[in-house]
Amino acid sequence: MIGTRLDEADAPRLIRTDRGWWFIGNRTWTLLKPEHVRPDGTLRPDVDGFLRSEGAYRERTAKSFSLTVLTSTACNLGCGYCFQNTGQDLLGGHRPPRIDRRQLDSATIDRIVGFAAGRMAEAGLERLYLLLFGGEPLLNPAGCLELLRRCRSLGPTTAAMTSNGVLLHPRRAVQLYEAGLRTVQITFDGSREDHDGTRVTHTGGGTFDRILANVAAATERTGLLWNFRVNVSHHNVDRIGELFGLLDGRTDPRRCTFTFAWVGDSGIGYRNDLAQAREVEDRFVEWTIETLERGYQLVRPSMRTTCQICSTPGGAHGAVVNADGTLFSSWQSAGKPGMEVGHIDHGYLDPGTVPDRWVTCGYEYEQADTEVMNRFQDNVDARILDYLLASGRL
């Protein structure tokens, strides 16, 4: 298989497969015949015209303002690969130095809501997508709850949270859900054994069973939806399949999706030596098919899109706000000294004056070049689409 990208920003994808070519457009998955694509890997003009007439190239415009807020920059875990670490624990434990500690308070929430209201009015947007982020956001549960409640004044709001899950006990989950939280992303590092060797407390204790118990209780008592991000590295690739059996019976598969992702190497005391080999591609496909067969939901392969916040200098359609009100261009640069791009009290700096600070998501990860990573993902996505078609799910 050879993956071929079309040449427009936020464009459809054209991926070669044994059956022909998959065209992945805006909510469009079409298997084209080999003769529909020219030898240079571009669409025949008549095929291109037909797809355009069917809306596969519909312009992707912002429908809501994307607001990411760090409610706390501290974290209760000591994961060695965290992009917010500033070094290794020189004592050999699980307390790596991190970005400066900041905690969201009521006064800053007032100003964030006012800032967001002004930006939404400028952009002509009446809906909000709110992401509670950290650190670990639940180290400041009061800040999370107040922010959720206060953001309702901005208009219809879709609210999500990225959390390690350790502090998401049942009572707190109910409070968050009643305040408007609807989706939680939780990361697993594979099986219990591998997870408990990586995502550890500051004393080195495992967290898998506590997280799973919290997810099970919250599933029973709330309508929360879950995205389980599964980190993949050479440390855990051989046992990731064990994870699904451990989750069975503890979650509602109809409310859960899985995302399998390479562990990014931020260059501080950690390295992921997994190579983009066909064997690893096979694993990604096998895991995805297994989750489908167990009844979990699938986020279908999509167009390659740019982040609504970091892709446009100046934050026209979104913002990343640290707990002290400082603005950053992406979740990965948030809280890092010298990467500030403004403040909620006086807006964004002129992007032309701080070009090196306006970075995109994942900018620090030392991975294979973009072309190699895109080809790997194309191959995986083509095989998943082949499976969906053959099994009558497409």
Question: How far is residue 266's CA from residue 233's CA, in Å, rounded to a whole number?
Answer: 14
- Helix, strand, or coil here: 46? helix
Question: How far is residue 43's CA from residue 15's CA, in Å, rounded to a whole number?
Answer: 11
Confidence at residue 318, expressed as pLDDT on a 0 to 100 scale: 95
Do residues 58 and 67 make contact, with C-beta atoms less than 8 angstroms apart?
A: no
Q: Residue range 81-98: average pLDDT?
A: 89
120-165 pLDDT, tens digit per residue, is 999 999 999 999 999 999 999 999 999 999 999 999 999 999 999 9
Q: Is the pLDDT of residue 86 over 80?
A: yes
Q: Is the pLDDT of residue 92 over 90?
A: no
Q: Is the pLDDT of residue 115 over 60?
A: yes
3-20 pLDDT, tens digit per residue, is 333 545 567 899 999 989
233-250 pLDDT, tens digit per residue, is 888 999 999 999 999 999
Confidence at residue 264, expressed as pLDDT on a 0 to 100 scale: 67
* Structural domains in the chain plus CATH codes: 3-60 (no CATH), 65-258+298-305+363-368 (3.20.20.70)
Closest among 143, 70, 57, 118 to 323, alpha carbons compared: 70
Confidence at residue 4, expressed as pLDDT on a 0 to 100 scale: 37
Percent of the chain with pLDDT over 90: 74
The length of the chain is 394
Question: How far is residue 28's CA from residue 314's CA, in Å, rounded to a whole number?
Answer: 31
Question: How far is residue 221's CA from residue 261's CA, in Å, rounded to a whole number?
Answer: 29
Q: What is the residue-averaged pLDDT of the chain?
A: 91
278-301 pLDDT, tens digit per residue, is 788 999 999 999 999 999 999 999
Look up the pTM and report it. Answer: 0.93
DSSP label of 186:
E
- Helix, strand, or coil here: 158? strand
330-370 pLDDT, tens digit per residue, is 999 999 999 999 999 999 999 999 989 988 887 666 455 67
Q: Residue range 68-89: average pLDDT?
A: 93
Amino acid identity of residue 367, one-letter, is Q
Q: Is the pLDDT of residue 66 over 50?
A: yes
18: exposed, middle or buried (Cβ count in 10 Å: 0-12, 13-18, 19+) = exposed
